[in-house]
A and B are shown apart, each in its own frame.
Chain A
């Protein structure tokens, strides 16, 4: 029985190695498929302050709206569907709802609405749905996935009416909702929806820390024998400001920097939090490539993008859940010769990343 204690819940790590100059690299599709990004954190070695162009890109990230207690049937409003959802311009996620406790809602840019409901709400709603893939044993969570661009969901049709009646009167589903619109400036079509709700606009929060005397592993683009788990552990420790000294009189952290290592006199750690779109992440990656192009002391930079822990969907609309941790993230390590190492990681209740 105690053999079980040594097993940790399953995690998946997909490692990909390629070059930006290679035409067949799948990076752009991998970045595009993670629709809902919560945090982007970057580590720039031998750098004490952010270059101005990088700052400009960070400051030009899309702002997003937080709507308090949005009745979800408003997302099916006829005008909203025609002006925004059918054009593929909006995406949104329910906020302050836990995927393993509450009902969660996600609206993807391709017009798919995904509702992850607990058993009571699903039985009351009365719309066709499937049990969650990650139900262990008894069915306690159900997923209703609706394609709002499909003809069966045209406003006035039977499927549409049934869903609206269910959301409006049978379960009165109301959650806080984060909504974002691409491109920026098209917010006019959202005004009709926002005017009926309690909303506020937010900009992604940017924080940067200058680090000194950082112990870091020697990273070159042709490293073959490096264990990706140790490297990701170190990157995470730097981002979370956890000491990697492993000194004998401290029991807080026994994390160490992987060998072989060197010491950097300074480094910059920048993080951006909010509802971030894959297009913004793409622009940031291109900007870091330009930054690395110039002759530098250190020849690498790293970028980690975290998805939302409580999102009902992960890469490509696949279902996401939380067993004891709901991580879904990818970490891109870029080198000055245009090669990159990509690590995509997920937790127990997730399908394999692309």
Chain B
């Protein structure tokens, strides 16, 4: 098993609330969290994709995870709520500053495209309304083959009882199709009180129809494979990874070194092929 992760903490402009969200997540035992910037392009106006705030500006000293001796790791994530296929532009430059990329499709055609074609890491399942379309085995299996995961978020269930029903119904319908593989559970927490501990979420996974092992993996190993999948998007075929050397101080030009880090493929590939 790997460390516990919660890959969906809603971004708010209030720095203090975001800071207390991260501190609560560290206190509950999550070792990695991702701050989620939701982008919902409207039909008429042209909107800009938000740029993520650098983590250093957000919180100076990352809190230590409870029960371990490492500080919590914070990533940036973008979710594009798509109602039209032009909303998600593949290989857009703005997507580079985010560590994780996800989409929330609202029609069946977009869902199919997201599963089979789009270069994303996570597909969000809507939990606040009745499913606008039914899941089919073919695109779900296609997504599983590519290493794309489905996400069910649970904080809507905490806020409202109608949404609780939709969350459980939608989640069960998803599990019927994907057989419990490639699923992650995360909060979409806006307040620290909406976060729950990793073992509690494992129990919640049982309610959605996951087995003991799948439910625990949904909070740990599957999240780890998503983060690795996202890292490979920045590299060439997941093998060569380049980064800029800090050559601003010296005036010389240096060729950017390749293979600066242990190649991403040396670590386990997204978990399907293990």
A binding-site residues for B, Cβ under 8 Å: 1, 4-5, 9, 69, 96-98, 100-102, 118-120, 136-141, 175-176, 323-324
> CB distance B31 to A101 under 8 Å?
yes
B residues in contact with A136, CB < 8 Å: 212-213, 216
Cβ-defined contact, B268 with A120, below 8 A:
yes
Bound CA–CA A345/B55 (angstroms): 45
Q: Are B209 and A324 in contact (CB under 8 A)?
A: no
Which of B213, B220, B271, B274 lies in contact with A101, CB distance below 8 A?
B220
Please give me the 4 A-B residue pairs with the lowest Cβ-Cβ distance, nearest first.
A136-B213, A100-B1, A101-B3, A96-B69
In B201-255, which residues have CB < 8 Å from any A CB? 202-203, 206-207, 209, 211-213, 216, 220-221
Q: Check if A324 sits within 8 Å of B68, measured CB to CB.
A: no
Q: With A and B bound together, what is the CA distance between A101 and B70 in angstroms?
A: 12
Name the CB-closest residue of B to A132: B1
- Residue among A9, A120, A138 making CB contact with B267, cutoff 8 Å: A120
Q: Can you spell out 15 A-B residue pairs with CB atoms less than 8 angstroms apart?
A: A4-B211, A9-B212, A98-B68, A100-B216, A101-B2, A101-B220, A102-B68, A120-B267, A136-B213, A136-B216, A137-B213, A138-B271, A140-B2, A324-B202, A324-B216
A residues less than 8 Å from B209 (CB atoms): 1
> 16 new A-B pairs (CB below 8 Å) besides A136-B212, A323-B216?
A4-B211, A96-B67, A97-B69, A98-B67, A100-B1, A100-B220, A101-B31, A102-B3, A118-B1, A118-B2, A120-B268, A138-B271, A175-B69, A176-B69, A324-B202, A324-B216
User: Which B residues lie at the A interface, using CB under 8 A?
Assistant: 1-4, 31, 67-69, 199, 202-203, 206-207, 209, 211-213, 216, 220-221, 267-268, 271, 274
Shortest Cβ distance from B172 into A: residue: A1
Which residue of B1, B213, B216, B267 has the most chain A CB atoms within 10 A of its CB atom? Answer: B1
Chain A residues with CB under 8 Å of B207's CB are 5
Residues of B within 8 A of A140 (CB): 1-2, 221
Instruction: Verify B268–A119 contact, CB threshold 8 A.
Output: yes
CA distance A5 to B208 in the complex (A): 10
Contacting B1 at CB < 8 Å: which of A69, A96, A120, A141?
A: A141
Q: Out of B69, B206, B274, which one reaches A138, CB within 8 Å?
A: B274
| CB closest residue in chain A, given B2 | A118
Q: List, in ascending order, chain B residues with CB within 8 A of A138's CB.
A: 221, 271, 274
Whether the Cβ atoms of A97 and B68 lie closer than 8 Å is yes
B68 to nearest A CB, angstroms? 6
A contact residues around B268 at 8 Å (CB): 119-120
Which residues of chain B come closer than 8 Å to A118, judged between CB atoms? Answer: 1-2
* Assembly CA distance A175 to B267 (angstroms): 22
Majority secondary structure, A binding face:
loop
Chain A residues contacting B221 (CB-CB under 8 Å) are: 138, 140
B121 CB to nearest A CB, Å: 20
CB contacts (< 8 Å) of B67 on chain A: these are 96, 98
Cβ–Cβ contact B2 & A96, under 8 A: no
Query: Across the interface, which residues of A come within 8 angstroms of B69, CB to CB?
Result: 69, 96-97, 175-176
Nearest residue, chain B, Cβ from A100: B1
Q: Which residues of chain B are near A120, meaning CB under 8 Å?
A: 267-268
Across the two chains, which residue of chain B brings its CB closest to A118?
A: B2
Bound Cα distance A101, B2 (Å): 5
With both chains docked as a complex, state the minimum distance between the C-beta of A34 and any C-beta of chain B, in angstroms.
22
Q: Are A101 and B206 in contact (CB under 8 A)?
A: no
Q: Cβ of A119: which chain B residues have Cβ within 8 Å of it?
A: 268
Most B CB contacts (10 A, CB to CB) among A97, A98, A176 go to A98
> Cβ of B213: which chain A residues have Cβ within 8 Å of it?
136-137
Indicate if the CB atoms of A323 and B212 lie closer than 8 Å: yes
CB distance from A198 to the nearest CB of B (A): 13
Shortest beta-carbon distance from A48 to chain B in Å: 36
B202 to chain A, nearest CB (A): 6
- For A101, what are the chain B residues with a Cβ–Cβ distance below 8 Å? 1-4, 31, 68, 220
Write the chain B residue with the least CB distance to A136. B213
Chain A residues near B267: list those with CB within 8 A.
Answer: 120
Compute how far the CA of A137 lies from the CA of B68 in the bound complex, rounded to whole angstroms: 26
Given the complex of chains A and B, what is the CA–CA distance between A102 and B68 in angstroms? Answer: 8
- The answer to whether A4 and B68 touch (CB under 8 A), given A101-B2, A120-B267, A120-B268, is no
Shortest B176–chain A CB gap in Å is 9
CA distance A255 to B132 in the complex (A): 45
Q: How far is the CB of A121 from chain B (nearest CB, A)?
A: 11
Check if B68 sits within 8 Å of A96, measured CB to CB. yes
> Which residues of chain B are near A1, meaning CB under 8 Å?
209
Q: Point out the residues of chain A lying under 8 angstroms from B202, CB to CB.
A: 324
Contact assessment for A5 and B206 in the assembled complex, using a CB-CB cutoff below 8 Å: yes
Within the complex, the shortest CB–CB distance from A197 to chain B, in Å, comes to 15
Expressed in whole angstroms, the Cα–Cα distance for A98 and B66 within the complex equals 10
Chain A residue with the shortest CB-CB distance to B272: A138
> Which interface residue of A5, A102, A141 has the most chain B CB atoms within 10 A?
A102
Task: Determine the distance from Cα of A175 to Cα of B209 in the docked complex, in whole angstroms.
Answer: 37
Give, as a whole number of angstroms, the nearest-CB distance from B65 to chain A. Answer: 9
In the complex, chain A residues whose CB is within 8 Å of the CB of B1: 100-101, 118, 140-141
The CA-CA distance from A137 to B1 in the complex, in Å, is 11
CA distance A136 to B213 in the complex (A): 6
